[in-house]
Amino acid sequence: MSDECLFCRIVAGEIPAKLAGENDAAIAFHDISPQAPVHLLIVPRAHVSGLRAIGSMSDQNVHKMLSLAADLAQKLGLEESGYRLVTNDGPDSGQTVFHLHWHLLGGRPMTAEFA
Q: Which of 47, 63, 101, 103 is catalytic?
A: 101
The C-alpha angle with vertex 35 and arms to 33 and 50, in degrees rounded to 5, equals 75
Contact 65, 26 (CB under 8 A): yes
Q: Alpha-carbon Rg of the chain, whole angstroms? A: 14
Q: Any idea what DSSP says for residue 41?
A: E
> Is 101 part of the annotated catalytic residue set?
yes
Residues 83/89/95/98 CA torsion (nearest 10 deg): 120
73: helix, strand or coil? helix
Distances (CA, A) of 101 to 5, 62, 80, 115: 12, 11, 24, 19
Question: Which amino acids are annotated catalytic?
Answer: 101
